[in-house]
Amino acid sequence: MEKQRRVKSSSKRTAIIFGILFIVIAASVLVYIYSRTFAKSNRLGLPMTKLAFDSIMARALPALIGMSIGGFLIAVMSQAFQTATESRVLTPSMIGFDSVFVGTQTIIVFIFGASSKIFSNAYINYLISAGAMVIISMLMYGMVLRKNKNNLVFLLMFGLVLSGIIRSGSSYLQLIMDANDYMQVQAATAVTINNMNTRIIYLAAPIMAATGLAMILRHRTYDVIALGRVNAKSLGINYDREININLLLIAIGMSITTALIGSLAFLGLLAVNISREIFKTHRHSVLFLGAGLFAVIALVFGQAMVELLQAAVPLTTIIDLLGCSYMFYLILKENKKV
């Protein structure tokens, strides 16, 4: 009876927290819309007509969709990656997806030129970039995690070295290419929340949503994987196969989100660990949803505040600063346990 009361109380607490998070998200969306419309018109001293409002929303709505789905997916993937690697201080975006994206854009321009359809066509460019990141990330994850299971130090070192090689090669190609092509590469690789490629959002959003849904539907499998390789196998889970499926989904999701909104290395770290601390559960059905909602709030509300306050520092820099600080805290905390 006492156990049932505790479970009921915990479920009620979880429902209340989720209710609050959904209310905060709704408020964040309204603040974001206000910051892009009425607040901006007030600063410029221009009237906000229906035509102007519709024109602004035509650009703001795709960005809002991209931030919401992208942030949610990054948090879900970070939670799944931490479960697979049994670490609270590692996220898949730290392995070097951004450098692969820069390298892909550089090679495309260097070989075909900035005027080619392969580069200028947003859909072709996006599919090539995402495909390259999927292939490279799967090769890297497969080689490292299959032969060195949960060897986080080796994984980080491998990702760091690979990222350095790709960045060095990209810098060399950019140095010897035409000046106009170089400027085009710089513009294409400066992918952030402020200048995300909204032209491809309706192509990317369904893929991101499908990837996130596939991972959420596997929440019971992640609950078992979190028990460790030996326990998971004893409970009938094909551990290696499930890890490979997990890595494939993460590679697809990270490639798509990186090409769309850039690298948000520490967003997942913050969202996942905040969700763990607040919900205090090992159920991935709760952790996935909680982390995803926290990530959406961080992006939408954060971007709204940046625009309202006309901050010179972009939101990604603020998130990285907070994420780095929190990562140091987690590392020191884990070190004390050893």
Which candidate, 258, 251, 263, places its Cα nearest to that of 215? 251
Weakest mean pLDDT among 23-37, 52-66, 184-198, 251-265: 184-198
Could you tell me the residue range of the domain that residue 184 belongs to? 2-337
Q: Give the pLDDT band (50/70/90) at residue 72.
A: very high
Which candidate, 307, 308, 277, 311, places its Cα nearest to that of 291? 277
Which candidate, 284, 306, 239, places its Cα nearest to that of 67? 306
Q: Which residues, 6 or more positions from 274, have their beta carbon under 8 angstroms from its beta carbon?
A: 291, 294
Angle between helices 152-176 and 97-112 (to 10 degrees): 30
Residue 116 DSSP one-character state: S
For position 191, what pLDDT does the model report? Answer: 60
**CA–CA dist 22, 297 (Å, integer):** 9
Cα radius of gyration rounded to whole Å, the chain: 21
For position 293, what pLDDT does the model report? Answer: 94
- Domain total in the chain: 1
**CA–CA dist 291, 281 (Å, integer):** 12
136-160 pLDDT per residue, tens: 777 776 676 655 555 556 766 777 7
State the CATH number of the domain containing residue 94: 1.10.3470.10
3-state SS class at 292: helix
- Measured at the CA of 256, the angle between CA 254 and CA 257, to 5 degrees, comes to 65
* Residue 70 pLDDT greater than 70, yes or no: yes
**CA–CA dist 117, 125 (Å, integer):** 8
The encoded tokens of residue 29 equal: 């969306």
Per the CB < 8 A criterion, the answer to whether 302 and 86 are in contact is no
Residue 199 DSSP one-character state: G
